[in-house]
Amino acid sequence: MIRFIFISIIISALALFTGCSHEHESESEEHGHEHGGAVSVTQYTDSTEIFMEYPALVINQNAEFLIHLTDLKDFKAVTEGVLIAKFKNSNGTEVTVTEEKPARDGIYIPTVSFPEAGNYTMTINLHGEQVSDVIVVDDVKVYASEAELPHVDEEESSGISFLKEQQWKIDFANEPVTKRKMQKSVLATGEIEAKPENYSKVTSPIAGTVLNKNNTSVKSIGDYVKEGEVLLNISPSADAGANIQKIKNDYLLAKSEYERVQNLYEKNAVPQKRLNEAKFEYESKKASYNSLSDQIKITETGYSVIAPISGYVEKINFNLGENLNAGQELYTIINPNRLILKANVPAAQIEAAVNSNDASFQIEGFNSSYEISDLNGRKISVAAGLNETNRTIPVYYEFNNPQNKIKIGMFAEVYVKVGEAAVTLAIPESAIVNEDGLHTAYVQTEGESFEKRILKTGIIDDEYVEIIHGLKSGERVVTEGAYQVRLASLSPESAIGHGHAH
Protein backbone atom coordinates (compact mmCIF):
# COMPACT_ATOMS: atom_id res chain seq x y z
CA MET A 1 0.00 0.00 0.00
CA ILE A 2 2.79 2.40 0.90
CA ARG A 3 4.60 1.51 -2.33
CA PHE A 4 1.44 2.22 -4.32
CA ILE A 5 0.96 5.63 -2.69
CA PHE A 6 4.63 6.53 -3.27
CA ILE A 7 4.42 5.65 -6.96
CA SER A 8 1.20 7.63 -7.29
CA ILE A 9 2.87 10.69 -5.79
CA ILE A 10 5.77 10.46 -8.29
CA ILE A 11 3.39 10.09 -11.25
CA SER A 12 1.32 13.05 -10.04
CA ALA A 13 4.44 15.22 -9.65
CA LEU A 14 5.67 14.37 -13.12
CA ALA A 15 2.25 15.08 -14.60
CA LEU A 16 2.25 18.45 -12.85
CA PHE A 17 5.77 19.24 -14.15
CA THR A 18 4.96 18.38 -17.75
CA GLY A 19 1.93 20.65 -17.57
CA CYS A 20 -0.45 18.44 -19.50
CA SER A 21 -3.30 20.55 -18.13
CA HIS A 22 -2.84 24.27 -18.68
CA GLU A 23 -4.16 27.34 -17.05
CA HIS A 24 -5.73 28.01 -20.46
CA GLU A 25 -8.25 25.15 -20.17
CA SER A 26 -11.16 27.56 -20.35
CA GLU A 27 -10.69 27.75 -24.12
CA SER A 28 -11.76 24.68 -26.03
CA GLU A 29 -9.42 24.79 -29.05
CA GLU A 30 -6.93 21.94 -28.87
CA HIS A 31 -3.73 22.07 -30.82
CA GLY A 32 -1.99 19.01 -32.13
CA HIS A 33 -2.45 16.44 -34.84
CA GLU A 34 -6.12 15.50 -34.98
CA HIS A 35 -8.39 13.24 -37.00
CA GLY A 36 -9.48 15.16 -40.04
CA GLY A 37 -6.11 16.53 -41.20
CA ALA A 38 -5.08 19.16 -38.65
CA VAL A 39 -1.65 20.62 -39.46
CA SER A 40 1.31 21.72 -37.39
CA VAL A 41 4.23 23.76 -38.71
CA THR A 42 7.63 24.40 -37.13
CA GLN A 43 10.03 26.77 -38.87
CA TYR A 44 13.04 28.93 -37.99
CA THR A 45 14.32 32.23 -39.28
CA ASP A 46 17.43 33.98 -38.05
CA SER A 47 15.34 35.76 -35.41
CA THR A 48 12.24 33.73 -34.70
CA GLU A 49 10.86 30.23 -34.24
CA ILE A 50 7.27 29.71 -35.32
CA PHE A 51 5.25 26.74 -34.10
CA MET A 52 1.81 26.97 -35.67
CA GLU A 53 -1.19 24.67 -35.52
CA TYR A 54 -4.47 24.97 -37.42
CA PRO A 55 -7.39 22.64 -38.24
CA ALA A 56 -8.25 21.26 -41.66
CA LEU A 57 -9.32 24.29 -43.71
CA VAL A 58 -12.61 24.43 -45.63
CA ILE A 59 -13.81 27.44 -47.64
CA ASN A 60 -16.15 29.90 -45.91
CA GLN A 61 -15.52 28.36 -42.50
CA ASN A 62 -13.77 30.28 -39.70
CA ALA A 63 -10.57 28.61 -38.56
CA GLU A 64 -8.33 29.58 -35.66
CA PHE A 65 -4.57 29.58 -36.27
CA LEU A 66 -2.62 28.97 -33.08
CA ILE A 67 0.71 30.73 -33.70
CA HIS A 68 3.48 30.34 -31.09
CA LEU A 69 6.38 32.75 -31.63
CA THR A 70 9.72 32.42 -29.85
CA ASP A 71 12.43 35.09 -29.81
CA LEU A 72 15.65 33.22 -30.68
CA LYS A 73 17.80 35.76 -28.85
CA ASP A 74 16.84 34.06 -25.59
CA PHE A 75 14.23 31.45 -26.61
CA LYS A 76 11.56 33.34 -24.67
CA ALA A 77 8.00 34.15 -25.75
CA VAL A 78 7.35 37.08 -28.08
CA THR A 79 5.27 39.28 -25.80
CA GLU A 80 4.45 42.27 -28.02
CA GLY A 81 4.18 43.37 -31.60
CA VAL A 82 1.67 43.62 -34.43
CA LEU A 83 1.21 40.45 -36.51
CA ILE A 84 -0.11 40.69 -40.08
CA ALA A 85 -0.80 37.35 -41.79
CA LYS A 86 -1.39 37.44 -45.54
CA PHE A 87 -2.55 34.37 -47.48
CA LYS A 88 -2.26 34.28 -51.29
CA ASN A 89 -2.95 31.48 -53.78
CA SER A 90 -1.85 30.97 -57.38
CA ASN A 91 -5.02 32.68 -58.69
CA GLY A 92 -4.08 35.86 -56.86
CA THR A 93 -6.78 35.53 -54.21
CA GLU A 94 -5.64 37.20 -50.99
CA VAL A 95 -6.82 37.04 -47.40
CA THR A 96 -5.26 39.27 -44.72
CA VAL A 97 -5.76 39.26 -40.97
CA THR A 98 -4.15 41.50 -38.35
CA GLU A 99 -3.53 40.89 -34.66
CA GLU A 100 -2.47 43.99 -32.73
CA LYS A 101 -0.89 41.97 -29.91
CA PRO A 102 -0.57 38.39 -28.70
CA ALA A 103 -3.65 36.78 -27.13
CA ARG A 104 -1.23 35.56 -24.46
CA ASP A 105 2.54 35.83 -24.16
CA GLY A 106 4.00 34.12 -27.20
CA ILE A 107 0.67 33.12 -28.77
CA TYR A 108 -1.33 34.85 -31.53
CA ILE A 109 -4.72 33.35 -32.43
CA PRO A 110 -6.03 34.95 -35.65
CA THR A 111 -9.32 33.68 -37.09
CA VAL A 112 -9.30 33.22 -40.88
CA SER A 113 -11.94 32.37 -43.49
CA PHE A 114 -10.98 31.47 -47.07
CA PRO A 115 -13.28 32.25 -50.05
CA GLU A 116 -11.55 29.91 -52.47
CA ALA A 117 -9.97 26.45 -52.33
CA GLY A 118 -6.36 25.79 -53.23
CA ASN A 119 -2.80 26.02 -51.90
CA TYR A 120 -1.96 29.32 -50.25
CA THR A 121 1.36 30.88 -49.29
CA MET A 122 1.19 32.47 -45.85
CA THR A 123 3.41 35.49 -45.21
CA ILE A 124 3.64 36.69 -41.62
CA ASN A 125 4.94 40.18 -40.94
CA LEU A 126 5.78 40.75 -37.28
CA HIS A 127 6.51 44.32 -36.20
CA GLY A 128 7.60 45.03 -32.63
CA GLU A 129 10.37 46.41 -30.43
CA GLN A 130 11.25 42.94 -29.18
CA VAL A 131 11.58 41.39 -32.63
CA SER A 132 10.60 42.23 -36.20
CA ASP A 133 10.59 39.49 -38.78
CA VAL A 134 9.05 38.08 -41.95
CA ILE A 135 8.07 34.41 -41.92
CA VAL A 136 6.87 32.56 -45.01
CA VAL A 137 4.89 29.32 -44.73
CA ASP A 138 4.16 27.44 -47.94
CA ASP A 139 1.38 24.99 -48.81
CA VAL A 140 -1.47 26.09 -46.60
CA LYS A 141 -4.13 23.85 -48.19
CA VAL A 142 -7.79 24.87 -48.27
CA TYR A 143 -10.47 22.33 -49.29
CA ALA A 144 -13.68 23.04 -51.19
CA SER A 145 -15.86 20.99 -48.80
CA GLU A 146 -15.69 18.79 -45.74
CA ALA A 147 -16.25 15.78 -48.00
CA GLU A 148 -12.81 16.39 -49.52
CA LEU A 149 -11.02 16.36 -46.20
CA PRO A 150 -8.47 13.54 -46.04
CA HIS A 151 -9.14 10.74 -43.59
CA VAL A 152 -6.26 10.57 -41.16
CA ASP A 153 -5.94 7.71 -38.71
CA GLU A 154 -4.97 9.18 -35.37
CA GLU A 155 -1.72 7.63 -34.22
CA GLU A 156 -0.39 7.77 -30.74
CA SER A 157 2.87 9.70 -30.77
CA SER A 158 5.99 8.02 -29.45
CA GLY A 159 7.66 11.38 -28.92
CA ILE A 160 8.15 13.44 -25.78
CA SER A 161 5.80 16.35 -25.17
CA PHE A 162 7.31 19.52 -23.71
CA LEU A 163 5.09 22.51 -24.28
CA LYS A 164 6.03 25.99 -25.39
CA GLU A 165 4.71 27.49 -22.18
CA GLN A 166 7.14 25.22 -20.30
CA GLN A 167 10.07 26.01 -22.59
CA TRP A 168 9.54 29.75 -22.17
CA LYS A 169 9.69 29.50 -18.37
CA ILE A 170 13.13 27.86 -18.15
CA ASP A 171 16.59 28.41 -19.58
CA PHE A 172 16.02 26.72 -22.90
CA ALA A 173 17.78 26.72 -26.27
CA ASN A 174 18.32 24.50 -29.26
CA GLU A 175 20.87 24.47 -32.04
CA PRO A 176 21.06 22.76 -35.43
CA VAL A 177 23.44 19.87 -35.93
CA THR A 178 26.12 21.19 -38.30
CA LYS A 179 29.45 20.21 -39.73
CA ARG A 180 32.48 21.76 -38.08
CA LYS A 181 36.22 21.54 -38.43
CA MET A 182 37.18 19.28 -35.56
CA GLN A 183 40.62 18.42 -34.30
CA LYS A 184 41.71 16.24 -31.42
CA SER A 185 43.01 18.31 -28.55
CA VAL A 186 44.67 18.06 -25.16
CA LEU A 187 43.05 19.97 -22.30
CA ALA A 188 45.33 22.29 -20.34
CA THR A 189 45.05 25.14 -17.91
CA GLY A 190 46.36 28.52 -18.97
CA GLU A 191 46.84 32.16 -18.11
CA ILE A 192 47.17 35.39 -20.04
CA GLU A 193 50.45 37.28 -19.79
CA ALA A 194 51.86 40.48 -21.25
CA LYS A 195 54.56 40.46 -23.90
CA PRO A 196 57.77 41.69 -22.22
CA GLU A 197 58.30 44.43 -24.78
CA ASN A 198 54.71 45.64 -24.28
CA TYR A 199 54.98 45.97 -20.51
CA SER A 200 56.97 48.74 -18.85
CA LYS A 201 57.49 50.07 -15.35
CA VAL A 202 58.47 53.74 -15.50
CA THR A 203 60.86 54.83 -12.73
CA SER A 204 62.12 58.27 -11.80
CA PRO A 205 65.60 58.76 -13.26
CA ILE A 206 66.35 61.52 -10.77
CA ALA A 207 65.48 62.71 -7.29
CA GLY A 208 63.12 65.64 -7.16
CA THR A 209 59.62 66.94 -6.46
CA VAL A 210 56.36 66.56 -8.43
CA LEU A 211 55.14 70.16 -8.10
CA ASN A 212 51.40 70.74 -8.60
CA LYS A 213 51.92 73.88 -10.66
CA ASN A 214 54.09 72.04 -13.18
CA ASN A 215 51.70 69.06 -13.51
CA THR A 216 48.26 70.43 -14.32
CA SER A 217 47.62 67.68 -16.94
CA VAL A 218 49.35 64.68 -15.38
CA LYS A 219 48.40 61.30 -16.88
CA SER A 220 45.77 59.20 -15.09
CA ILE A 221 44.94 55.50 -14.87
CA GLY A 222 43.35 54.30 -18.12
CA ASP A 223 44.88 57.06 -20.26
CA TYR A 224 46.43 55.98 -23.53
CA VAL A 225 49.92 57.38 -24.06
CA LYS A 226 52.22 57.29 -27.06
CA GLU A 227 55.89 56.42 -26.94
CA GLY A 228 57.86 59.61 -26.17
CA GLU A 229 54.83 61.44 -24.75
CA VAL A 230 55.34 63.46 -21.53
CA LEU A 231 53.95 61.72 -18.43
CA LEU A 232 54.85 64.22 -15.71
CA ASN A 233 57.36 66.95 -14.79
CA ILE A 234 59.91 66.64 -12.01
CA SER A 235 61.66 69.58 -10.38
CA PRO A 236 65.07 68.06 -9.56
CA SER A 237 66.97 68.44 -6.33
CA ALA A 238 70.19 70.50 -6.50
CA ASP A 239 72.38 67.40 -6.56
CA ALA A 240 70.22 65.68 -9.19
CA GLY A 241 70.24 68.73 -11.45
CA ALA A 242 73.99 69.04 -11.17
CA ASN A 243 74.46 65.35 -11.93
CA ILE A 244 72.29 65.54 -15.05
CA GLN A 245 74.14 68.59 -16.27
CA LYS A 246 77.45 66.78 -15.68
CA ILE A 247 76.30 63.76 -17.75
CA LYS A 248 75.32 66.09 -20.57
CA ASN A 249 78.56 68.10 -20.38
CA ASP A 250 80.71 64.94 -20.24
CA TYR A 251 78.95 63.64 -23.35
CA LEU A 252 79.38 66.89 -25.30
CA LEU A 253 83.04 67.15 -24.24
CA ALA A 254 83.75 63.52 -25.24
CA LYS A 255 82.06 64.07 -28.57
CA SER A 256 84.09 67.19 -29.28
CA GLU A 257 87.33 65.45 -28.29
CA TYR A 258 86.58 62.43 -30.48
CA GLU A 259 85.88 64.65 -33.48
CA ARG A 260 89.13 66.59 -32.84
CA VAL A 261 91.26 63.41 -32.53
CA GLN A 262 89.59 61.93 -35.61
CA ASN A 263 90.56 65.03 -37.61
CA LEU A 264 94.16 64.80 -36.37
CA TYR A 265 94.31 61.09 -37.17
CA GLU A 266 93.27 61.77 -40.75
CA LYS A 267 96.27 64.13 -40.96
CA ASN A 268 98.57 61.47 -39.43
CA ALA A 269 99.09 63.73 -36.41
CA VAL A 270 98.06 61.14 -33.78
CA PRO A 271 98.39 57.34 -33.67
CA GLN A 272 95.55 54.80 -34.00
CA LYS A 273 95.70 54.07 -30.29
CA ARG A 274 94.79 57.66 -29.41
CA LEU A 275 91.84 57.58 -31.81
CA ASN A 276 90.57 54.34 -30.25
CA GLU A 277 90.81 55.81 -26.75
CA ALA A 278 88.83 58.91 -27.78
CA LYS A 279 86.20 56.79 -29.53
CA PHE A 280 85.76 54.53 -26.47
CA GLU A 281 85.34 57.50 -24.16
CA TYR A 282 82.84 59.13 -26.52
CA GLU A 283 80.68 55.98 -26.90
CA SER A 284 80.67 55.42 -23.11
CA LYS A 285 79.50 58.98 -22.39
CA LYS A 286 77.02 58.81 -25.26
CA ALA A 287 75.41 55.64 -23.82
CA SER A 288 74.94 57.32 -20.44
CA TYR A 289 73.48 60.42 -22.03
CA ASN A 290 71.14 58.48 -24.36
CA SER A 291 69.91 56.38 -21.47
CA LEU A 292 68.98 59.55 -19.62
CA SER A 293 67.46 61.27 -22.67
CA ASP A 294 65.31 58.20 -23.37
CA GLN A 295 63.67 58.77 -20.00
CA ILE A 296 63.49 62.53 -19.62
CA LYS A 297 63.42 65.77 -21.54
CA ILE A 298 64.86 69.00 -20.22
CA THR A 299 62.25 71.78 -19.95
CA GLU A 300 62.10 75.31 -18.56
CA THR A 301 60.47 74.08 -15.35
CA GLY A 302 62.64 71.01 -14.80
CA TYR A 303 62.68 67.56 -16.36
CA SER A 304 59.81 65.73 -18.07
CA VAL A 305 59.49 61.95 -17.72
CA ILE A 306 58.45 60.39 -21.06
CA ALA A 307 56.63 57.18 -21.94
CA PRO A 308 59.01 54.39 -23.04
CA ILE A 309 56.25 52.54 -24.97
CA SER A 310 52.79 53.19 -26.33
CA GLY A 311 49.99 51.76 -24.20
CA TYR A 312 47.57 52.31 -21.35
CA VAL A 313 48.47 53.62 -17.89
CA GLU A 314 47.77 50.67 -15.60
CA LYS A 315 49.16 51.93 -12.27
CA ILE A 316 50.29 55.21 -10.70
CA ASN A 317 52.61 55.06 -7.69
CA PHE A 318 53.10 58.69 -6.67
CA ASN A 319 51.14 61.71 -5.52
CA LEU A 320 51.35 65.32 -6.59
CA GLY A 321 53.61 67.26 -4.26
CA GLU A 322 55.61 64.15 -3.38
CA ASN A 323 59.40 64.09 -3.13
CA LEU A 324 60.78 61.34 -5.34
CA ASN A 325 63.91 59.26 -5.04
CA ALA A 326 65.97 58.23 -8.04
CA GLY A 327 64.72 54.81 -9.18
CA GLN A 328 61.30 55.18 -7.53
CA GLU A 329 58.48 53.51 -9.52
CA LEU A 330 56.07 56.01 -11.06
CA TYR A 331 53.87 54.31 -13.65
CA THR A 332 53.06 50.89 -15.11
CA ILE A 333 52.23 51.03 -18.81
CA ILE A 334 50.80 48.09 -20.74
CA ASN A 335 50.15 47.69 -24.45
CA PRO A 336 47.51 44.90 -24.66
CA ASN A 337 47.27 44.70 -28.45
CA ARG A 338 49.28 41.49 -28.52
CA LEU A 339 49.39 39.06 -25.60
CA ILE A 340 50.91 35.77 -24.48
CA LEU A 341 48.94 32.62 -23.64
CA LYS A 342 50.83 30.32 -21.31
CA ALA A 343 49.34 26.82 -21.51
CA ASN A 344 50.30 24.37 -18.77
CA VAL A 345 50.20 21.01 -20.56
CA PRO A 346 50.26 17.80 -18.47
CA ALA A 347 53.63 16.05 -18.54
CA ALA A 348 52.01 12.95 -20.05
CA GLN A 349 51.19 15.03 -23.15
CA ILE A 350 54.66 16.45 -23.82
CA GLU A 351 54.75 15.05 -27.34
CA ALA A 352 51.48 16.81 -28.15
CA ALA A 353 52.87 20.05 -26.73
CA VAL A 354 55.99 19.81 -28.86
CA ASN A 355 54.20 18.92 -32.10
CA SER A 356 51.19 21.22 -31.81
CA ASN A 357 51.19 24.55 -33.62
CA ASP A 358 47.72 25.76 -32.69
CA ALA A 359 45.36 25.94 -29.73
CA SER A 360 41.97 27.30 -28.78
CA PHE A 361 41.05 28.78 -25.43
CA GLN A 362 38.18 30.15 -23.41
CA ILE A 363 38.67 32.71 -20.68
CA GLU A 364 36.74 33.39 -17.51
CA GLY A 365 33.84 35.77 -17.91
CA PHE A 366 33.42 35.19 -21.66
CA ASN A 367 31.30 32.62 -23.49
CA SER A 368 33.26 32.94 -26.71
CA SER A 369 36.15 30.68 -27.61
CA TYR A 370 39.23 31.93 -29.41
CA GLU A 371 41.55 30.18 -31.86
CA ILE A 372 45.22 31.18 -31.82
CA SER A 373 45.49 30.85 -35.62
CA ASP A 374 42.38 33.05 -36.09
CA LEU A 375 44.02 35.79 -34.01
CA ASN A 376 47.11 36.02 -36.21
CA GLY A 377 48.87 34.04 -33.51
CA ARG A 378 51.61 31.44 -33.34
CA LYS A 379 53.35 29.12 -30.94
CA ILE A 380 56.47 30.80 -29.58
CA SER A 381 58.14 28.06 -27.60
CA VAL A 382 57.91 25.06 -25.32
CA ALA A 383 59.66 25.38 -21.96
CA ALA A 384 62.88 23.42 -21.49
CA GLY A 385 61.79 21.96 -18.16
CA LEU A 386 58.74 20.81 -16.22
CA ASN A 387 56.99 22.67 -13.45
CA GLU A 388 57.87 20.28 -10.63
CA THR A 389 54.92 21.37 -8.48
CA ASN A 390 52.09 20.43 -10.84
CA ARG A 391 54.01 18.29 -13.37
CA THR A 392 53.14 20.40 -16.37
CA ILE A 393 55.20 21.84 -19.19
CA PRO A 394 54.52 25.47 -20.21
CA VAL A 395 53.75 26.11 -23.88
CA TYR A 396 53.72 29.75 -25.02
CA TYR A 397 51.57 31.29 -27.76
CA GLU A 398 51.28 34.92 -28.82
CA PHE A 399 48.18 36.41 -30.41
CA ASN A 400 46.33 39.59 -31.29
CA ASN A 401 43.90 40.79 -28.63
CA PRO A 402 40.45 41.36 -30.24
CA GLN A 403 39.21 44.83 -29.25
CA ASN A 404 41.56 44.56 -26.23
CA LYS A 405 38.86 42.50 -24.49
CA ILE A 406 41.23 39.91 -23.04
CA LYS A 407 42.94 41.06 -19.86
CA ILE A 408 46.37 40.22 -18.50
CA GLY A 409 46.14 37.85 -15.55
CA MET A 410 42.98 36.07 -16.75
CA PHE A 411 42.86 32.29 -16.42
CA ALA A 412 42.01 30.20 -19.46
CA GLU A 413 40.87 26.72 -20.41
CA VAL A 414 43.12 25.69 -23.28
CA TYR A 415 42.72 23.01 -25.94
CA VAL A 416 46.12 22.23 -27.48
CA LYS A 417 45.48 20.96 -31.03
CA VAL A 418 46.81 17.52 -31.96
CA GLY A 419 46.87 15.77 -35.34
CA GLU A 420 45.01 16.74 -38.51
CA ALA A 421 41.69 18.60 -38.60
CA ALA A 422 38.64 17.04 -40.25
CA VAL A 423 35.13 18.31 -41.04
CA THR A 424 32.49 16.30 -39.20
CA LEU A 425 29.06 16.57 -37.56
CA ALA A 426 29.24 18.13 -34.11
CA ILE A 427 27.04 19.47 -31.32
CA PRO A 428 27.83 21.49 -28.18
CA GLU A 429 28.93 19.55 -25.12
CA SER A 430 25.98 21.08 -23.28
CA ALA A 431 23.60 19.06 -25.49
CA ILE A 432 25.02 15.74 -24.24
CA VAL A 433 23.11 14.05 -21.42
CA ASN A 434 24.77 11.09 -19.71
CA GLU A 435 22.14 8.46 -18.98
CA ASP A 436 23.27 5.16 -17.46
CA GLY A 437 26.68 5.53 -19.06
CA LEU A 438 25.25 6.32 -22.51
CA HIS A 439 25.67 9.61 -24.34
CA THR A 440 22.23 10.88 -25.33
CA ALA A 441 20.73 14.05 -26.80
CA TYR A 442 17.19 15.33 -27.23
CA VAL A 443 16.11 16.35 -30.73
CA GLN A 444 13.32 18.89 -31.12
CA THR A 445 11.32 17.34 -33.96
CA GLU A 446 8.54 19.92 -33.75
CA GLY A 447 7.82 22.94 -31.63
CA GLU A 448 6.57 20.84 -28.71
CA SER A 449 7.78 17.35 -29.62
CA PHE A 450 11.12 15.79 -28.82
CA GLU A 451 12.96 12.54 -29.39
CA LYS A 452 15.69 10.96 -27.34
CA ARG A 453 18.72 9.78 -29.34
CA ILE A 454 21.54 7.50 -28.21
CA LEU A 455 24.80 8.81 -29.66
CA LYS A 456 28.15 7.48 -30.67
CA THR A 457 30.58 10.33 -30.06
CA GLY A 458 34.14 11.06 -31.04
CA ILE A 459 36.64 13.76 -30.20
CA ILE A 460 35.91 16.92 -28.22
CA ASP A 461 37.19 20.18 -29.65
CA ASP A 462 36.50 23.68 -28.35
CA GLU A 463 33.46 22.53 -26.33
CA TYR A 464 31.94 20.70 -29.31
CA VAL A 465 31.58 16.93 -29.56
CA GLU A 466 31.99 14.92 -32.75
CA ILE A 467 28.87 12.88 -33.62
CA ILE A 468 29.68 9.60 -35.33
CA HIS A 469 26.18 8.14 -35.15
CA GLY A 470 22.75 9.15 -33.87
CA LEU A 471 22.06 12.55 -35.44
CA LYS A 472 21.61 14.03 -38.90
CA SER A 473 22.71 17.40 -40.21
CA GLY A 474 20.07 20.08 -39.69
CA GLU A 475 18.29 18.37 -36.80
CA ARG A 476 17.95 20.66 -33.81
CA VAL A 477 19.27 19.41 -30.47
CA VAL A 478 18.42 20.88 -27.09
CA THR A 479 21.49 22.69 -25.76
CA GLU A 480 19.87 24.23 -22.68
CA GLY A 481 17.05 22.58 -20.78
CA ALA A 482 17.82 19.00 -21.86
CA TYR A 483 17.46 17.76 -18.29
CA GLN A 484 13.94 19.18 -18.04
CA VAL A 485 13.02 17.49 -21.34
CA ARG A 486 14.37 14.24 -19.89
CA LEU A 487 12.16 14.69 -16.82
CA ALA A 488 9.19 15.25 -19.11
CA SER A 489 10.00 11.97 -20.86
CA LEU A 490 9.57 10.14 -17.56
CA SER A 491 5.93 11.20 -17.33
CA PRO A 492 3.55 8.40 -18.35
CA GLU A 493 1.59 11.01 -20.33
CA SER A 494 4.54 12.43 -22.25
CA ALA A 495 4.10 10.00 -25.12
CA ILE A 496 0.40 10.77 -25.70
CA GLY A 497 1.22 13.56 -28.13
CA HIS A 498 1.70 17.26 -27.99
CA GLY A 499 -1.94 18.30 -28.12
CA HIS A 500 -3.15 20.30 -25.15
CA ALA A 501 -5.91 22.71 -24.29
CA HIS A 502 -5.52 26.44 -24.89
The domain boundary, picked from 394, 419, 444, lies at 419
pLDDT tens profile 162-172: 999 999 999 99
DSSP 103-138: SBTTEE--EE--SS-EEEEEEEEEE-SS--EEEEEE
Lowest-confidence pick of 75-89, 305-319, 488-502? 488-502
pLDDT tens profile 122-162: 999 999 999 999 999 999 999 999 988 887 766 655 689 99
**What pLDDT, on a 0 to 100 scale, did the predictor assign at position 292?**
58
**What pLDDT, on a 0 to 100 scale, did the predictor assign at position 156?**
58
**What pLDDT, on a 0 to 100 scale, did the predictor assign at position 238?**
62
Considering only residues 317 and 16, tell me which one the structure prediction assigns the higher pLDDT: 317
**What pLDDT, on a 0 to 100 scale, did the predictor assign at position 333?**
92
**What pLDDT, on a 0 to 100 scale, did the predictor assign at position 239?**
60
Burial of 377 per CB tally in 10 Å (0-12, 13-18, 19+):
buried
235 pLDDT more than 90: no
Does residue 257 lie in a domain region?
Answer: yes
Burial of 138 per CB tally in 10 Å (0-12, 13-18, 19+):
exposed
Do 68 and 52 fall into the same domain? yes
297 pLDDT more than 90: no
Supply the range of the domain harboring residue 280. 197-334
Does residue 342 lie in a domain region?
Answer: yes
Residue 228 backbone zone (phi > 0: left; psi -120 to 50: alpha; other: beta): left
Does residue 158 lie in a domain region?
Answer: no
The end-to-end CA distance of the chain, in Å, is 37
**Cβ proximity of 301 and 235 under 8 Å:** yes
Do 255 and 328 fall into the same domain? yes
46 pLDDT more than 80: yes
Do 215 and 96 fall into the same domain? no
**What pLDDT, on a 0 to 100 scale, did the predictor assign at position 159?**
86
286 pLDDT more than 80: no
**What pLDDT, on a 0 to 100 scale, did the predictor assign at position 345?**
93
The domain boundary, picked from 360, 389, 419, lies at 419
Do 252 and 242 fall into the same domain? yes
pLDDT, mean of residues 37-64:
95
pLDDT, mean of residues 271-285:
79
Do 201 and 190 fall into the same domain? no
If one counts every other C-beta atom within 10 angstroms of the C-beta of residue 186, the result is: 20
**Cβ proximity of 331 and 319 under 8 Å:** no
If one counts every other C-beta atom within 10 angstroms of the C-beta of residue 9, the result is: 10
How far apart (Å, rounded) are the C-alpha atoms in residues 460 and 211? 60
- For residue 207, give the CATH number of its domain: 2.40.50.100
Confidence of residue 300 (pLDDT cuts 50, 70, 90): low
Do 364 and 327 fall into the same domain? no
**What pLDDT, on a 0 to 100 scale, did the predictor assign at position 494?**
52
Considering only residues 277 and 441, tell me which one the structure prediction assigns the higher pLDDT: 441
Choose among 378, 410, 422, 418: nearest CA to 396: 378
**What pLDDT, on a 0 to 100 scale, did the predictor assign at position 189?**
93
Do 202 and 313 fall into the same domain? yes
- For residue 358, give the CATH number of its domain: 2.40.30.170
376 pLDDT more than 60: yes
Does residue 361 lie in a domain region?
Answer: yes
- For residue 53, give the CATH number of its domain: 2.60.40.1930
Does residue 389 lie in a domain region?
Answer: yes
Angle, vertex CA 320, rays to CA 319 and CA 323, nearest 5: 80
Do 347 and 318 fall into the same domain? no
**What pLDDT, on a 0 to 100 scale, did the predictor assign at position 268?**
85
**Cβ proximity of 45 and 135 under 8 Å:** yes
pLDDT, mean of residues 426-436:
93
DSSP 174-186: EEE-EEEEE--EE
pLDDT tens profile 305-354: 888 899 999 999 888 888 888 888 889 999 999 999 999 999 998 888 88
Do 228 and 320 fall into the same domain? yes
498 pLDDT more than 80: no
Does residue 2 lie in a domain region?
Answer: no
**What pLDDT, on a 0 to 100 scale, did the predictor assign at position 343?**
94
287 pLDDT more than 90: no
The domain boundary, picked from 419, 434, 455, lies at 419
**What pLDDT, on a 0 to 100 scale, did the predictor assign at position 233?**
85
Do 351 and 253 fall into the same domain? no
Considering only residues 47 and 151, tell me which one the structure prediction assigns the higher pLDDT: 47
**What pLDDT, on a 0 to 100 scale, did the predictor assign at position 33?**
40
Considering the chain, what percentage of its residues have pLDDT values greater than 90?
51
461 pLDDT more than 50: yes
Does residue 169 lie in a domain region?
Answer: no
Considering only residues 328 and 15, tell me which one the structure prediction assigns the higher pLDDT: 328
Q: What is the largest CA-CA distance in the chain?
A: 125
How far apart (Å, rounded) are the C-alpha atoms in residues 80 and 106? 8
**Cβ proximity of 101 and 81 under 8 Å:** yes
Do 330 and 340 fall into the same domain? no
Do 295 and 219 fall into the same domain? yes
**What pLDDT, on a 0 to 100 scale, did the predictor assign at position 419?**
80
Number of domains in the chain: 3
Does residue 348 lie in a domain region?
Answer: yes
pTM of the shown model: 0.63
